[in-house]
Amino acid sequence: MKRIIIAVAALLLVAVAAYGVQTTKTTDIVQGTMQLLDDLGLIFGTGSDVTVKYDEAGTDRLTVTTAAGYGLNVLTGNLYVGNGVPGQTVNGEDAYIEGLLEVDGVANFDGGAKIIDDVALTFGSDADATIVYDETTTDDLIITSTNVTVTGNVNFSGQLVGTGTAAIGSVVAGANTACNTTCTAPCLFGIDNGAAAADSLVACDDAAADKCVCLGAS
C-alpha cells in the first residue's frame, strides 16, 4: 500500500509540474513551504490577468506581468526596498528605497521635492554641475558649474556680493543712468531698483539702472 501511495504522489507531482494546479475553492491554506520551479508562473484571475514568476532563463528576476492598463497596487501599506531605516515618517501609501533609484522617463513631483542639507542635486551625465545647500559651513545655496547662463530676467531683493574682485570689481550707484557710462571698468549689468518689491537686472546700455555691477574697480 505504501508503494502505491508513493507512486500516486509522484504522479501528482509530475502532473503539477507539467500542467499546473487550478482551484475553484474560496480559500486554500498551505501549511508549509510552497515552491515554484524556475520559469513557472503563478497566475491570477479567470482571464489569466496577472502572472508572477522567477525568470531564470532571462533576467534572473522575479517578474510580475499584468494585462495592459493594469498594474501592481500597494493598498494602505508601504513599499520598502533595502534594509535601511527611513529618515521620514512612513505611515501608509509611502515608499522607501535605500539604494539608487533610476527613472528613464519623466518624473512628476506633484507635492514638491525636498533635498536635505549638504546633499547635491547633480546635473549632466559626467556630473558637470551641482546645486547644494551648504548647511555645514556657509549656510548658502551653492551652484557649482563652469558657466551659468540665465535666459530672461533675474529678480532679487537682497544684496549681490562678489568675492572675486577681478571678476566683479564693484557695485556703484548711478540713478537712472546707463551703466556703460557710470562704470569706468567694463560693465557687467545694471540693477533697476524701480517701484517693484524686487530689483531687476537690466542691460548695460539701459538708462533705467540705479546701480551698476562693473568688471573692476569703478
- Give the pTM: 0.56
Q: What gap in Å lies between CA 88 and CA 98, rounded to an integer?
A: 12
- Full strand arrangement of the beta sheet holding 61-66: 42-44, 50-55, 61-66
Domain boundaries, the chain: 33-70, 71-101, 116-149, 154-218
Question: Could you tell me where the beta strands, DSSP code E, fall in 6-153?
Answer: 42-44, 50-55, 61-66, 79-81, 95-97, 121-123, 129-134, 140-144
What residue type is assigned to position 11 of the chain? L
- How much is the pLDDT for 4? 42
Q: What gap in Å lies between CA 208 and CA 204, rounded to an integer?
A: 10
- How much is the pLDDT for 188? 86
pLDDT values of the chain reduced to their tens digit, one per residue, 218 residues = 444 444 444 444 444 445 555 556 567 777 888 888 999 999 988 888 899 999 999 999 999 999 888 888 888 899 999 999 999 999 999 999 999 999 999 999 999 999 999 999 999 999 999 999 999 999 999 999 988 888 887 777 766 665 554 555 667 777 888 998 888 888 888 888 876 667 788 899 999 888 888 887 77
